[in-house]
């Protein structure tokens, strides 16, 4: 499907980041040259938000189409599941795209959703784990800045690299875009799959 779009996924695309300059340019797909290991990261909302920041290069129609196609294929072949209390899920953020649906507290008389009420709401804890056998990441300044380390099997990721680079406030133009309704989470690109709107 659309192999002509593949090269754009290997080019740096700016996204919002909590550290450094507030945006960082990384490819969606990349290979670490020595090992040949593939790595990927796609956070559409981070890319979309960066488009409202002054000085960020506007995405080409081909880049937008490539990002949309990756998401559409993911929705087509992906797996949906309900996480139940006490369940753990482990994912490699350099190989697996994942997301979660929105949730809301149930009304007191909504017995079908009683587990989501104020007394017994959802508790989601996230942890960054750096296993001993993690893959190497591309040895570029951007990957070093974003992950803190690129060697295999070493601690990396989490908030520490952003703290080291200097925590950056959200750009004022992005805050204004949200306040005025110009920005809409997952709203910049088309969100269609098999003719059905899959907006979250």
Ordered per-residue pLDDT tens for the chain, 200 residues = 899 999 999 999 999 998 999 999 999 999 999 999 999 999 888 898 899 999 999 999 899 999 988 988 888 888 888 877 788 888 888 999 887 766 655 555 666 655 555 565 566 677 888 888 999 999 999 999 999 999 999 999 888 899 999 998 888 998 898 888 777 655 444 444 444 454 43
Residue 107 has what pLDDT? Answer: 59
Q: Has residue 85 been placed in a domain?
A: no
DSSP state of 26: E
The answer as to whether 38 is a domain residue is: yes
Q: What's the pLDDT at 105?
A: 56
Contacts of 188 (CB under 8 A, 6+ apart): 48, 51, 64
Distance CA 124, CA 182 (A): 30
Tokens representing 21 are: 């300059």
pLDDT at residue 188, rounded to an integer: 40
| Strand ranges, E, within 27-172 | 29-31, 38-40
Contact criterion met (CB below 8 Å) for 53 and 59: no
- Asked if residue 199 belongs to a domain, the reply is no
Provide the pLDDT for residue 118.
55
For position 12, what pLDDT does the model report? 97
Interatomic CA distance for residues 56 and 50, integer angstroms: 7
Residue 16 lies in a domain: yes
Q: What is the DSSP string of 41-92?
A: ---HHHHHHHTTSTTPPPPPHHHHHHHHHHHHHHHHH----PPPTT------
Q: Is residue 121 part of a domain?
A: no
How far, in Å, are 8, 128, 145 from residue 166 at the CA level? 29, 20, 11
Looking at the structure of the chain, the number of domains it has is 1
Residue with tokens 């990384």: 26
Q: Is residue 40 part of a domain?
A: yes
* Domain membership flag for residue 33: yes
Q: Are 199 and 186 in contact (CB under 8 A)?
A: yes
Q: Which domain holds residue 47?
A: 3-78+93-98+166-180
- Does some domain include residue 88? no
Question: In angstroms, rounded to a whole number, what is the distance separating the alpha carbons of residues 20 and 141?
Answer: 12
């Amino acid at each position: 499907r659309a192999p002509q779009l593949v090269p754009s996924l290997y080019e740096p695309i700016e996204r919002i980041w909590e550290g450094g300059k507030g945006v960082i340019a990384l490819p969606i797909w990349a290979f670490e040259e020595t090992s040949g290991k593939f790595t990927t990261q796609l956070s559409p909302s981070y890319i979309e938000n960066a488009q409202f920041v002054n000085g960020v290069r506007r995405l080409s129609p081909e880049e937008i189409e490539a990002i949309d196609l990756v998401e559409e294929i993911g929705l087509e072949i992906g797996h949906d599941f309900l996480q139940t209390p006490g369940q753990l899920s482990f994912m490699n953020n350099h190989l697996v795209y994942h997301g979660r649906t929105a949730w809301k507290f149930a009304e007191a008389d909504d017995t079908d959703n009683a587990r989501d009420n104020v007394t017994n709401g959802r508790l989601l804890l996230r942890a960054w784990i750096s296993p001993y056998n993690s893959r190497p990441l591309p040895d570029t300044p951007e990957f070093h800045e974003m992950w803190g380390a690129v060697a295999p099997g070493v601690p990396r990721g989490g908030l520490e690299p952003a703290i080291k680079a200097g925590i950056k406030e959200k750009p004022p133009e992005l805050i204004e875009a949200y306040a005025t309704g110009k920005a809409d989470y997952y709203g910049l690109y088309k969100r269609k799959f098999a003719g059905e709107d899959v907006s979250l």
